[in-house]
Each structure stands twice: as structure tokens, then as C-alpha cells.
Structure 1
Amino acid sequence: MPTFAHSTERFSDRVADYVRFRPTYPREIVTFLHDTCGVAPAAPVADIGAGTGISAKVFLDEGHPVIAVEPNDAMRAAADALLASYDGFSSVSGTAEATTLADASVDLVIAAQAFHWFDPVTARREFARILKPRGLVALFWNSRMLEGSPFLEGYEALLQQYSTDYQAVAERYGDDESMAVWFGDAFAHKAYFPNAQWLDFDGLKGRLLSSSYAPKAGHPNHEPMLTALRALFDRTAHDGNVEFAYQTRVYVGYATPQR
């Protein structure tokens, strides 16, 4: 697996776009964890790599107290602002490998759109430490659909042409095979849910610029990329919007093999 220097800081200058333009996650994830995986309602949750609080909010809205663990100061501040009204929310500066949380303090560890930045071996050990006995790990991603419409196929081609390290980042995302390897004998459940955003051009532009691999202003690919994005939008939009479609993939298991 490739490594990325300063991965905890890759989004520092993209926080505003991340807050405004990144998709949320289907509430069906929480229902699945309750009904299929046996997670108790109101069980304490640690959201690792919580970012701006998008995933934490899904669980807070369903009655779970959430501790957000996030090493990036700007992203953690955005989460604190977004979720300040929730009594069950708190945040700490920590990483997947060193969360700062107490031993056996949570029933569920989640990581949404973040696990591919972790050291998989050290993170697994840390998850096992902070989870209560029989506590679960749920890893999930909004995986952008790469085909199925002219827009989706054109957007993928645009990323391949103009992005800086898109392919290296995309290859790190969790899939059935890599998650089966990581969980091993501790793999318990998986599920897939449809998800989508309907975006006007400003929303589409913000969504693109929230990605860590999108070249920023000043990079020679930045303006050509935005020109190509405008052309793609103009030829594929319907009623002023494009459908940015995802499949939300959820993988659930234990941090250690269960006997």
C-alpha cells in the first residue's frame, strides 16, 4: 500500500469545500448496525478520522453519543462548530493509531471515508484497545459510481486526466477483497446502500475541489480542469443539475478474532 506524507494535513486548505459539498451517509447504515449487527441503540461510538463531523452527525441523529477523533485542527474545529448543539458529542485530537481514548471505552468504532489513510496494523491494535468486549468496527465509504451515465463516465475521465495523485488515492479505498483481508476471521457483515447528490455547477465545482487529489489554484492543471468540468456539466446536466451517484459500502467486524 502506498504511503502519503502528511496525510493528516491533506485537507487543511479544503475544509470549507468539504463542509459544504461532501455527501452525507445513508441513515440505513445505523439501522443495519442495529438490526443486523446487534449494536445497541445509544451505544457509545468513536468516529476515527471524523473530519468535519459528517459521519458523526448521522449517529448523533440516531441517538448515539459520539467521540470524534480527528488529528487535523481545522477539520476538528469544523466538526465542533457543526455539532455544538448535540449533548452527546465530544472531540479529541488523536489519530487512528493513537486515539487518546480510554481502554474498553466504546461499543462501536467507525471510520467513514478515512480508513485508507490509516496504518492498518497499528490502527487495528488501537481499535481493539478502546473497544469493549464484543465491540464492533464499522468501516464505510461513499464510493463514487464510475459508470452508468455520461456525466459519471466523463467525470472519471476528467480526474484521470487532470488530478495529481487520484489513481494512487483511489486504489486505497476499501473493497470486498481488501476488507476481507483486513478483518480476516473477524469479518462479520457487509452491506451496500445507494446514495446520491444532485449538484448545480457551483456544487459540482466545490465537490471536486474538496478532493485531496484535485489540483489547487496555481497548479498548471487547475484552470484546464475547471474548463473541462464546465464543459462536462453543460453537456450532461438536466434541469440545471447533475446526479453525483455513489454506492455506500459498509464493512463490519471485530478488531480481533472472536472465539
Structure 2
Amino acid sequence: MTMATTTERPATVSTALRAGDFTGLAQDYSQHRPDYAPSVLQGLLGLLGKPVAEVDFADVGAGTGIWTRQVQASGVRCATAVEPNTDMRTHGQVASAHTPIRWLQGSAEQTGLASASADWLTMASSFHWAQFEVATGEFHRVLRPGGRFTALWNPRLIEVNPLLVEIEAHLSTLRSDIKRVSSGRSGITETLSEQLWASPHFEDVVYLEGRHVISMTPARYLGAWRSVNDLRVQLGADKFEAFLAYVEERIRGQASIEATYLTRAWSARRKG
């Protein structure tokens, strides 16, 4: 896949973009977003209590299938991606064309999956958009007895790279009350263990985390920022474009950007 240079501009995204709506962002999302720590994937598979080749897997809120393809490649028996957004789902189907992944339209609250059809159901970088009580009830229905639900995120660990700290800090000059809805280190993740333990649908809540480093070209790094929904909505079109211009100028001349990602995963076993 040919990578755009940092001076090329993508097609304009609608200024009416809503929180959680990735329409128009799917191409950047598919091309530039990072994967998840392989060590965490192996740990999560180990919690399932059965051979990987016997695991029926479903990824809900799959986006363009970055995590879905990573799990499918681990050798699960079957993999199903559920995604409500047509643009994201279409790009995911193209990216997964040479895999046996099945794609469905559906949401966390109404997956469209059959009852007791999955051994493992996940939401990767998307559970913060779900209605917790409705979604966990739906996951309980879809999972088999002993099956597990996993919510995971892969936020950047910017503290280890001063350049990334500087870029992130620039956001506060554009809007002082920025809230990173999907950062994976705030919001729902602050109380997720307690919420899952308190749920009537799940038990045996386990938390895992791991790091991995990705060396990004400037084009990929800028593309990853372009795919972010929550900043685009909070800043508005003009300020978001100003931020992208700042990032582009700040990384000019860099051969690569070393980005450390922190995969954080919460796995809970179906109760009953």
C-alpha cells in the first residue's frame, strides 16, 4: 500500500461529524492506526481455557478490523467482525479480503449474533461508545457458558518520547478543556474493573497490559491523528486542521517517529 507524503491532504471530512461517527475517517484509520501488543493477545487467549483452534471469536465495534485480523491470524477457528458504520465496515472488508473473517452490520447493543455462538467476544478501542448495561447483557446472550468478554484499548504512552509530549501539550492551547474520550487511559477505563465485577453478567475480571513500540513514518503518524474522532469533534474543523498543520511542521525532517503503545485489556468470564 502506497503511503501518502505529509504534504498531501485527504478529502475533507464533513464538519457535521458526531462523536463516535467515523464516517470519512475510515481510510486513515485502516492505514495508520496501530495494532495491539502481541504479548497481551497471547495472555488473553490463555484465559479462554481451550485450544485456540477451537475458539469461535467475535469482535464488536470492529472498525476496520485491525484487532480482528490480529486475532484471526493467531489461529482461532472462526472470526466475525461486527461494525455499525458502513464506511469503516467497507474498508475493513477490503483490508480483510484475503482472510476468512465474516463481516456483519451491528452494534454493541444489538450485535445480530446468535445466542451462545461465541467463546470470546471483544471490543477493541470501542467499548467507551457502548451503553454498558445493554451491551453487557447482549454479550452475555452471545457468549457460551465459560466464554469471556474483553474490552481493550491501545493508547500511546507519550511520556517516553519528549516530542510526543510536546505535540500532545499543544492541544491545550487550542482548547483548554479537551477530554480524550477514547484515550484508553481515562473515562470508562478508570472504573471498568469495578463495573465489570458489579455486573450481573460477568465474573473473574482480569486486567492485563503490555507495551510495544512502532516506528512510524511521518505520513503514518500524521494519518493516525487524522483518524481521531473525539478531537475533531471537540476542536471543530478549523482548529483541528490548525492542529494537524502544527503536527506536520513539528515532525518535518524526522525520518521516523518512535511511538510506544500501551495495550490495556479487561477480560471477564460470562456468569452462569
Whether TM exceeds 0.5 here: the answer is yes
What is the 5 A alignment of 1:151-166?
Answer: 151-162=163-174, 166=178
Alignment of 1:129-208 (within 5 A): 129-162=141-174, 166-169=178-181, 170=183, 173-175=187-189, 177-184=190-197, 186-208=203-225
Other-structure match for 1:212: 229
The residue that corresponds to 2:247 in the other structure is: 229
- Deviation, structure 1 residue 234: 4.3
Question: Structure 1 residue 231: deviation in Å?
Answer: 3.8
Q: Is structure 2 residue 98 aligned with structure 1 residue 81?
A: no
Structure 2: any 5+ residue segments left out of the alignment?
1-16
Distance (whole Å) between structure 2 residues aligned to residue 115 and residue 164 of structure 1? 26
- Find the aligned partners of 2:52 and 2:237 in 1 and give their Cα distance: 47
Q: Is the 8 A contact 1:180 1:187 kept in 2?
A: no
Aligned pair in 2 of structure 1 residues 32, 135: CA closer, same or farther (>3 Å)?
same
1:13 matched to which residue of 2?
Answer: 24
Paired letter, 1:22 = R
Contact 1:160 1:167 in 2 (8 A): no
Alignment correspondent of 2:9: none
CA contact (8 A) 1:23 1:196 kept: no
Q: CA separation in 1, counterparts of 2:30 and 2:23?
A: 12
Deviates further, 62-71 or 180-189: 180-189
- CA RMSD, aligned part only? 2.6
Give the match's secondary structure for 2:215.
strand
Deviation per residue, 1:193-246 (Å, 9 max, x gap): 1123222222221111110034399822134313321343249x4xx1111221
Determine if the alignment matches structure 1 residue 112 to structure 2 residue 124.
yes
TM norm structure 1: 0.85
| Alignment match, 2:37 | 26
Length-normalised TM-score, structure 2: 0.82
1:241 aligned to which of 256, 260, 272: 256
Distance 1:184 1:127 in 2: 15
Gapped runs of 5+ residues in structure 1? none
Pick the aligned partner of 2:82 from 65, 69, 84.
Answer: 69
Q: Give 1:100's match in structure 2, choosing from 84, 89, 112.
A: 112
Please report how far the alpha carbon of residue 6 of structure 1 lies from its aligned counterpart in structure 2 after TM superposition.
Answer: 5.3
CA distance in 1, matches of 2:164, 2:110: 38
Q: 1:207 to 1:166 in 2, by over 3 A?
A: farther
Q: State the number of aligned residues.
A: 247
Structure 1 match to 2:6: none
CA contact (8 A) 1:116 1:172 kept: no
Asked if residue 251 in structure 1 is aligned to residue 266 in structure 2, the reply is: yes
Residues 198 and 244, structure 1, Cα contact 8 Å, conserved in 2: yes
Q: Distance in 2 between matches of 1:114 and 1:253?
A: 16
Structure-1 separation of matches of 2:223 and 2:145: 42
Report the more deviating stretch, 224-233 or 156-165.
156-165
- Residues 1:45 and 1:229: Cα distance change in structure 2 (over 3 Å): same
Query: How has the CA–CA distance of structure 1 residues 121 and 139 changed in structure 2, closer, same or farther, with 3 Å as cutoff?
Result: same
Q: Secondary structure at the match of 1:110?
A: strand
Following superposition, the deviation at residue 75 of structure 1 comes to 0.7
CA distance in 2, matches of 1:48, 1:165: 30
